[in-house]
A and B are shown apart, each in its own frame.
Chain A
Amino acid sequence: MSSATVLFATIVIALLVTMVLTLTRALAGPTLFDRLLAVNSFGTKTVLLIAAAGFLAGRPEFLDIALVYALINFIGTVAVLKYFELPDAGSGAYPEDDY
């Protein structure tokens, strides 16, 4: 086993441990924002995990998926938060936004 393989495996294991801890926070709450924070953090770790697992498998093409996941993760978080700031978003209550 080469040094590189051990390195990738170490990163993957560290990330998996991290993701378990993050998930406990997402399940424990207590507020909704704690869960959102945990899910956002989990998403960032997923991006890294996909990248590291791709290298571990010797197929760096997995990075495409990681790239897309990084974008979706951010957009998802901001979309949910926007809903809290403007609970009636999309109802037509903000006609000045309809360009």
Chain B
Amino acid sequence: MGDFLVGLLAWPLAALGCLFVVSGAIGLVRLPDLYTRLHAASVTDTGGTLLIAAALLLHAVFTFADPMAAIKLVLIVGFTLFTAPTASHALAKTAMLVGQVPVGADGKPLLDSPEEASRLARSRRAPEGAGDEMPGEPSARGTN
């Protein structure tokens, strides 16, 4: 009975996690440019890791009755939740810095030149008219 319940919880988690992971890899292969691939890979990496590790955690606790394994799994998920977005951010920022221009859905570049991309990566402010500035934020911040 206990095994049945664990299976009932673990199977949907594992299935969803596998779906995330495989769809992320398909996105990584099929999407047109670096930034879209980055999106596919990083979002599904975090989600897939979380779901698959949750399925494994259920088995570690109930099937193997191994508390140390459960703690290690939680640690792995914790590290991944911190490091995967950080690595994605660093990758995107460095790509901009080196001058990779993002491409829009219609195939046109979203910036005028690689120098523009590099300049944006160096400044800490969003470009004019991007609309994501905080309301009360002084606009003179970080004009280096």
Chain A residues packing against B (C-beta within 8 Å): 2-4, 7-8, 10-11, 14-15, 17-19, 21-22, 24-25, 31, 33-34, 36-38, 40-41, 44-45, 47-48, 51-52, 55, 58, 60-61, 63-64, 66-67, 70-71, 73-74, 77-78, 81, 84-85
Contact = CB atoms under 8 A, between A and B. Distances in A.
Given A51-B56, A51-B73, A63-B69, A74 B37 contact: no
Contacts of A2: 3
B94 A60 contact: no
Contacts of B110: none
Interface of B: 3, 6-7, 10-11, 14-15, 17-18, 21-22, 24-26, 28-29, 34, 37-38, 41, 45, 48-49, 52-53, 55-56, 59-60, 63-64, 66, 68-69, 72-73, 75-76, 79-80, 83-84, 86-88, 90-91, 94-95, 97-98, 100
B28 A22 contact: yes
A38 B69 CA distance: 28
Contacts, number: 147
Nearest to B69: A60
Contacts of A60: 60, 64, 66, 68-69, 72
Question: Chain A interface mostly helix, strand, loop or mixed?
Answer: helix
Given A4-B63, A64-B72, A44 B79 contact: no
A41 B94 contact: no
Contact of A21 (B29, B64, B86): B29
Given A33-B94, A81-B91, A85-B97, A21 B28 contact: yes
